[in-house]
Chains A and B, each alone.
Chain A
């Protein structure tokens, strides 16, 4: 009885295994040579070997990706090319089929689907985090508009970042804020293999397995890979980022060498990516094309209720509110801010300060200073979580926003303050300078040297004591137009998918 069942099971598995292998081989042939002549005496493996023998690395990448249900990395392609040269392409196909049969016998093969000439958008990280940083905000606003206006497939990564897969319903909701049309949903357990498509990476990818497989795709597949380039801070201000981030970012850059285009978000990120590409070109690689597609900022409206609630939470009667937005990492320069405040309080100036931002690496000195100030009864609040509606209300309630960061790809809080008509004090260089003074003249803000606490204190004193100067800045801030997400999304789409600037 047991024996008979075993035999039947074995037979069933063998049939499944052969049919999976045949289906995958057919998938390769039909994609690479649609409508081509049927295989000689039905030998699918030989036909795939013939396709590989053509020597196009894109065909080899695709064949391996389909047979393995996994994107081959650079080493896997080079290894297969070597085997093909020395022992012939048929050996490569034989080896891959043996691997596939073994996996199928164990019952561990996912379904594979080919995405032909599609635009895929990689939102794997944004789809899986609850917090909203600057990058996540850009991804959400942009991708929502792309999905509404273009034929776009949002993807994440399967298993250990080995291949694309469709998003789950939860992931869609997190990125778009709405549930997708069920008809547009593909099964999330399917592995998606692109062929002659465009793949857009709008977020930062630092998972090492992800960048390893992305590098193979960008270098060898016939899908063009493009990206939004936010900044190179882990390389240009390495000492300020979390341990491990620097090396992971190096691997991200290694993958970016083989992309077609990167849309950079500001003059500062343009300078960073252009400098990096100069380094890449020194080794004889071309590197991606770069174009600046400047980020916009649009303020969300605040209701009377939001304003009232936030006022009660953050404001002190009779004291102007100084608002600081940004996580507690050293790069945001909160220690300089707290010192400048202490200098001004000692001068007898009246104001209270609210620092809104999540905790982070190396935040201990910041927490200690906040505790010290509070113990001395300084009007000082650190708020680690503030709902979006209250944050927008806080921007509107603030006397001014203080953002003297040491390095930013795009200084979002400075731009958000201006979008709310609130004056801002920020750093006199990089993207922060560009936001306040797009044409060289500051409009709606004061620029300071963030490495000089006195320079920060001087600007604060001006906005706290010089009513005339303050009124002028307020006026200028109200008149600022910082662009719209509609036009950003359209310009980014045109550049990333079509190469149009």
Chain B
């Protein structure tokens, strides 16, 4: 490994950028950037060393390293500065910085200091084409914020060490995902390098996703030390409450994220039960004399306005269609739908079953059984990579949808089915129960196969029940993505200052 060499013109630019907030008066410096960097550094180190707080040191380390520091980095430098003075302090500081740089290539990047508007982190949604629940929330919310507010969107550098600006393809992925020119779809293009780094300074920083473990520690340090209030969208705590339903990677990723939650100022949860989960975690950190974040509820859209696309539902002819939306995995419990369907087919009921959804880890027992049933001519289809329009068409044409998930933060497929006026057979658990019960859904214990079969039989045979549920679904109050975006801004951005 080669020793990192700090690029001095970039260093000068970064120091010059942060100097106004680190110094009361910025000293005059030489025109030569090499000399100027040295002169600025001297003044800045003196000023930061005298400050007992860690906020300005946090910013200085970003300027010096082109990387966001971890808590351990900060404490290491803080202690070194306490033991040395003057020119030696400067040497010791630079020495520590060189030792802690994780990605030398980022030290050539220039820095923008953001002091007058929120910073919204959309790392994964910007860099990936995937469209799961979290990306749906991000890609529905951020464009609506753009209509009313000014802010900076960020992702993380390739080395996961610093926040940076988005490049144009990434920007499109977040703000105009469905309206992009066909040519730009599906490509994981990275723009020109190096990206400009972004350092928020005493402005709200909003994390819209669950971060990858690689940069969680640096985000936690931002929350703990930077002076910028950190706002989060709280989706769910599935990996620590129902660890047996997710992968080991997700378990590790989520606990790394909990270190960020510990030092956040607000968590806006997507449902009441999700808020209960986060509030429980906040209770857990009180013995460390940490206040933990304020937990608030900002429910995702429901009612007609939550429909995935703008198409009106079309009633289908022929045998009843049962539609099951969501990635196929153990947590979504599709095997229970399959069992109830098989028992009802054996009883002689006529209907077809359609699974729609991408991603997930289909459990072996489900896949094996599905193949057997398809081979014996049961009317089952499975479609992945479904567009919003196709989803709307399929759900709209269903007699009812089935969503028997064992644990959800919200349950978007339930909201979307009801938005289209289509009844749902839904779990009686947490947020799924609140979405469905009394609003056009029939709720049932998703572990009770007999109950699931009984309710599915009712939905297949009882037309009056279907009519009643359709009426209830259409009658529920409507909450739109615009409502959600406005409430979320009020809670995590306005609420933070």
The answer to whether A and B assemble together is: yes
* Interface, chain A (partner B; CB < 8 A): 74-75, 79, 81-82, 85-86, 212, 215, 232, 234-239, 243-244, 246-247, 249-251, 253-254, 257, 267-268, 271-272, 274-284, 330, 335-336, 339, 342-343, 346, 365, 406-407, 428-431, 453
B83: interface (CB < 8 Å):
yes
In the complex, the answer to whether A430 meets B287 with C-beta atoms within 8 Å is yes
Q: Report whether A250 and B280 are in contact in the complex, using a CB–CB cutoff of 8 Å.
A: no
In-complex Cβ contact of A79 among B248, B262, B342, B365 (8 A)? B365
Residues of chain B contacted by A339 (CB below 8 angstroms): 79, 82
Q: Point out the residue from B83, B241, B262, B288 that lies within 8 Å of A280, measured CB to CB.
A: B241
Q: Which B residues have a C-beta under 8 Å from some C-beta of A?
A: 72, 75-76, 79, 82-83, 217, 220, 237, 239-244, 248, 251-252, 254-256, 258-259, 262, 273-274, 276-277, 279-289, 335, 339, 342-343, 365, 407, 428-430, 433, 449-450
Q: How far is the CA of A254 from the CA of B273 in the complex (A)?
A: 18
Asked whether B241 lies within 8 Å of A235 as measured between CB atoms, the reply is no
Shortest Cβ distance from B272 into chain A, in angstroms?
8
A310 to chain B, nearest CB (A): 31
Are B251's CB and A407's CB within 8 A? no
CB contacts (< 8 Å) of A235 on chain B: these are 240, 255, 258, 284
Residues in A with CB closer than 8 Å to B365 are 75, 79
Cβ distance B285 to chain A, nearest Cβ, rounded Å: 6
Q: With a CB–CB cut-off of 8 A, which chain A residues contact B281?
A: 275, 279
Set of chain A residues within 8 Å of B237, measured between Cβ atoms = 279
Q: Are A335 and B287 in contact (CB under 8 A)?
A: no
Q: Are B289 and A430 in contact (CB under 8 A)?
A: yes
Least CB distance from B127 to A in Å reads 24
Cβ A274 vs Cβ B283 within 8 A: yes
Given A239-B259, A279-B237: A268 in contact with B342 (beta carbons within 8 A) = no
Q: A85-B339, A239-B220, A247-B252 are in contact. List 10 more A-B contacts (CB 8 A).
A: A82-B449, A85-B449, A238-B255, A246-B252, A246-B255, A250-B240, A271-B283, A278-B283, A335-B76, A430-B288
Residues of B within 8 A of A271 (CB): 283-284, 286-287
Residue numbers in A under 8 Å from B287 (CB-CB): 236, 267-268, 271-272, 407, 429-431
Q: Which residues of B contact A281 (CB under 8 A)?
A: 276
Helix, strand, loop or mixed for chain B's interface?
helix
Q: Contacts of A272 on B, CB cut-off 8 Å?
A: 284, 287
Select which of A251, A268, A284 is within 8 A of B243 by beta carbon. A251
Q: List 29 A-B contacts (CB under 8 A).
A: A82-B339, A86-B342, A235-B255, A236-B258, A236-B287, A246-B252, A247-B255, A250-B240, A250-B243, A253-B240, A271-B287, A272-B284, A274-B283, A275-B284, A279-B240, A279-B280, A280-B280, A282-B241, A282-B276, A282-B280, A283-B407, A284-B428, A335-B75, A336-B75, A343-B82, A365-B76, A406-B288, A428-B289, A430-B288
Across-interface contacts of A79 in B (CB, < 8 A): 365
Q: How far is the CB of B242 from chain A (nearest CB, A)?
A: 7
Q: Select which of A254, A276, A282, A283 is within 8 A of B284 by beta carbon.
A: A276
**Which residues of the other chain, B, contact A267 by a CB distance below 8 angstroms?**
287
Using CB atoms, name the residue of chain B closest to A271.
B287
Knowing A237-B288, A335-B79, A429-B289 are in contact, say whether A283-B339 is a contact too (CB < 8 A): no
* B72, B244, B254 interface centre (most CB from chain A within 10 Å): B244
Chain B residues, CB < 8 A from A276: 240, 280, 284
A254 and B242 in contact, given A279-B280, A282-B277, A342-B83 (Cβ under 8 angstroms): yes
In the complex, the number of residue pairs spanning A and B with C-beta atoms less than 8 Å apart equals 146
A275/B280 contact (C-beta < 8 A), A86-B343, A406-B288 known: yes
Give bound CA distance, A388 to B150, whole Å.
63
Contacts of B251 in A (CB 8 A): 246-247, 250-251
| Residue of chain B at shortest CB distance from A232 | B284
Given the contacts A86-B339, A247-B252, A407-B288, A238 and B259 also touching, CB distance less than 8 Å: yes
Contact of B273 among A215, A246, A283, A336 (CB under 8 A): A283
Which listed residue (B217, B242, B279, B286) contacts A283, Cβ 8 A? B242
Instruction: Name the residue on A nearest B80 (C-beta).
Output: A339
Q: Which residues of B contact A430 (CB under 8 A)?
A: 287-289
Instruction: Closest A residue to B406 by CB, please name it.
Output: A283
B81 to chain A, nearest CB (A): 11
Other-chain contact of A284, B75, B343, B429 (Cβ < 8 Å): B429
Contacts of A236 in B (CB 8 A): 258, 262, 284-285, 287-288
Task: Return A122 CB to nearest CB of chain B, in Å.
Answer: 19
Cross-chain contact B280 with A277 (CB below 8 angstroms): yes
Q: Which residue of A lies closest to B240 (CB)?
A: A250
Task: Collect the chain A residues with CB atoms within 8 Å of residue B283's CB.
Answer: 271, 274-275, 278
Residue numbers in A under 8 Å from B76 (CB-CB): 335, 365
Counting chain B CB atoms within 10 Å of each CB, which of A86, A267, A272, A275 scores highest? A275
Point out the residues of chain B lying under 8 angstroms from A81, CB to CB: 449
Those 9 A-B pairs whose CB atoms lie nearest each other, nearest first? A275-B283, A278-B280, A275-B284, A250-B243, A282-B276, A429-B289, A279-B280, A268-B287, A247-B251
Tell me which residues across on chain B come within 8 A of A244, comparing CB atoms: 252
Shortest C-beta distance, A256 to chain B (Å), equals 11
**Which residues of A sit under 8 angstroms from B252, Cβ to Cβ?**
243-244, 246-247
Interfacial chain A residues near B449, Cβ < 8 Å: 81-82, 85
Closest A residue, CB atoms, query B346: A86
Query: How many whole Å from A346's CB to the nearest CB in chain B?
Result: 8
Complex: A243 Cα to B277 Cα, angstroms:
24
Contact present for A283 and B256 (CB under 8 Å):
no
Min CB gap B245→A, angstroms? 8
Interface-centre pick from B76, B240, B276, B286 (highest chain A CB count, 10 A): B240
Known contacts A275-B280, A342-B83, A453-B79; decide if A239 and B256 are in contact (CB<8 Å).
Answer: yes
Contacts of B430 in A (CB 8 A): 282-284
**Complex: A339 Cα to B286 Cα, angstroms:** 27
Give A429 to B290 CA distance when docked, in angstroms: 10
User: In the complex the two chains form, what is the Cα distance from A370 to B435 in whole Å?
Assistant: 58
* Distance between B217 CB and nearest chain A CB, rounded to angstroms: 6
Question: Looking across the interface, which residue of chain A has its beta carbon closest to that of B283?
Answer: A275
Kindly provide the distance from the CB of A272 to the nearest chain B CB, expressed in whole angstroms.
Answer: 5
Nearest A-chain residue to B284, judged by Cβ:
A275
* Residues A365 and B259 in contact, CB atoms below 8 Å apart: no
With CB as the reference atom, state the residue of chain B lying closest to A270. Answer: B287
Give Cα distance in the complex from A237 to B288, angstroms.
9
Using CB atoms, name the residue of chain B closest to A266: B287
**Docked-complex contact A251 and B75, CB < 8 angstroms:** no
Q: Say whether A278 contacts B243, CB under 8 Å.
A: no
| Nearest-Cβ distance from residue A238 to partner chain B, whole angstroms | 4
Interface centre among A81, A215, A254, A330 (most CB of B within 10 A): A254
- CB-CB < 8 A to A279: which residues of B? 237, 240-241, 276-277, 280-281
For B335, the chain A residues whose CB sits under 8 A away are 82
Highest count of chain A CB atoms <10 Å: which of B239, B241, B259: B241
Give complex CA distance A284, B258 in Å.
22
Q: Chain B residues with Cβ under 8 A from A284's Cβ?
A: 428-430, 433
Residues of A within 8 Å of B429, CB to CB, are 283-284
